[in-house]
Amino acid sequence: MSVISKMAEEKRFRVGYALAPKKQSSFIRDSLVNLARSRGIDLVRVDPSLNLADQGPFDCVLHKLYGDDWKRQLAEFTAKYPNAVVLDSPESIERLHNRISMLQVVSELRIDERSETFGIPEQIVIYDRETLLDQRSWESLKFPVIAKPLVADGSAKSHKMALVFNHDGLNSLKPPVVVQQFVNHGGVIFKVYVVGERVRCMKRKSLPDVEEEELVRVSEDLLSFSQVSNLATDERIDDSYYKMMQLDDTELPPLSFVTQIARGLRRVLRLNLFNFDVIRDSRCGNHYLIVDINYFPGYAKMPGYESVLTDFFCDVLCKKQQGGDESENAGFDSVVAHGCDKDARRIMSSTCCGDEDEGSLQVSPLVKEEESSVQV
């Protein structure tokens, strides 16, 4: 047995996960745990009530916990284990906690010139009721609009949104809120999942279109909901709308297009695990609007998420085998598109990816994954 084969046989990798109970139950499924284990990766629960540094060593820490105490624990952990990878940096994650700074990054993106265009909806932030009720604040918007809490920290409160049809509906809003222009988009939202270098695009039912003449006939001033993709199940939405709409017939955005956006967002945000919601403007079929970005979304809703995440862990650990990265953004920098050297790739291929029948470690750049990445 060669030295490399012996290393691959003996070496196992520990990935600690620190997640809220609800997130843990939806993400850490037996199917993921078993697949990762078969490829040499042990997923180990981190107890939030104990000091993180005392629970190591971990090769990698996967987390979605917030607060100053948790940030302190991560800092102590990285000081004690400087070669460990933290996914992702708390400072990078925090940019997504504010719905204004969240979408500002879109203006920083530069992609190849093409027929498709993208942007964000017109939006304003309202900090107090006086501004909320001042019609001069709304000159750039027209009804209907979508109202969202300014803070997007993953709490139940941050998911409470409303489709507002008129000025009377504003009375029910509680500042600070972000008010975003509603854009007709055919009742379909595209959810683009990013896992390191991997990108998958899926489509979901969304808010139905609202024609201008319908505004005078609405029986409510606003319609509250928690998630756009869940609103289709609301009994107040006319089901005939969705019966007429064939979701299967809706064309996905060009994968090369969303891949370029995903790559740009990943670079600017310095994050590995996120998704973004995209709509296609019904007025202009090749113009797309990014309406939301979420850190560490519900990956279990993505078919085959176990393989995607396990391959991603292999990417991270493959890079770590080469010496890792001890910078402040080690979580991001450890899995940017660098290939593994020959020996490290062979070790990780044996340890993480089994034999050839189980698939090989993906080390190609983001754009190379286009053909196999779309999931509908």
148 has binding-site annotation: yes
Instruction: Answer positive or negative: Cα dihedral of 248, 249, 250, 253.
Output: positive
Q: Is 189 annotated as a binding residue?
A: yes
217-221 mean pLDDT = 80
How many residues are listed for the chain in this entry?
Answer: 376
Question: Is 184 marked within a binding site?
Answer: yes
Query: Strand ranges (DSSP E) for the chain?
Result: 13-19, 41-45, 60-64, 85-87, 117-119, 123-126, 145-149, 161-164, 177-181, 188-195, 198-205, 222-225, 273-280, 287-295
| 188 has binding-site annotation | yes
Mean pLDDT of 246-270: 92
Residue 180 assigned to a binding site:
yes
pLDDT tens-place string over residues 11-56: 899 999 999 999 999 999 999 999 999 999 999 999 999 999 999 8
Q: State yes or no: 324 annotated in a binding site.
A: no
Mean pLDDT of 136-160: 88
Average pLDDT, the chain: 82
**Per-residue pLDDT, 109:** 93
On whether 264 is known to bind a ligand per the annotation, the reply is: no
- Say yes or no to pLDDT of 373 above 50: no
β-strands 145-149, 222-225 pairing: unpaired
Residues 16 and 13: their CA atoms lie apart, in Å, by 10
Crossing angle for the helix pair 342-352 and 305-321, to the nearest 10 degrees: 140
- Confidence at 215, pLDDT banded by 50, 70, 90: confident
Report whether 174 belongs to an annotated binding site: no
Interval 149-174 mean pLDDT? 89
Instruction: Tell me if 359 is assigned to a ligand binding site.
Output: no
Q: What pLDDT is attached to residue 153?
A: 83
Other beta carbons within 10 Å of 249: 7
185 annotated as a binding-site residue: yes
The predicted pLDDT at position 351 comes to: 41
User: Is 182 annotated as ligand-binding?
Assistant: yes
Q: The whole model's pTM is what?
A: 0.83
Cα 335 to Cα 349: distance, rounded to the nearest angstrom: 16
- Looking up tokens 């990417």, which residue turns up? 315
Number of neighbouring beta carbons within 10 Å of residue 10 = 9
Rounded to 5°, the CA angle 338-113-196 comes to 25
pLDDT tens sequence across 55-70: 989 999 999 999 999 9
Residue 234 in 3-state DSSP? coil
Q: Is 135 within any annotated ligand binding site?
A: no
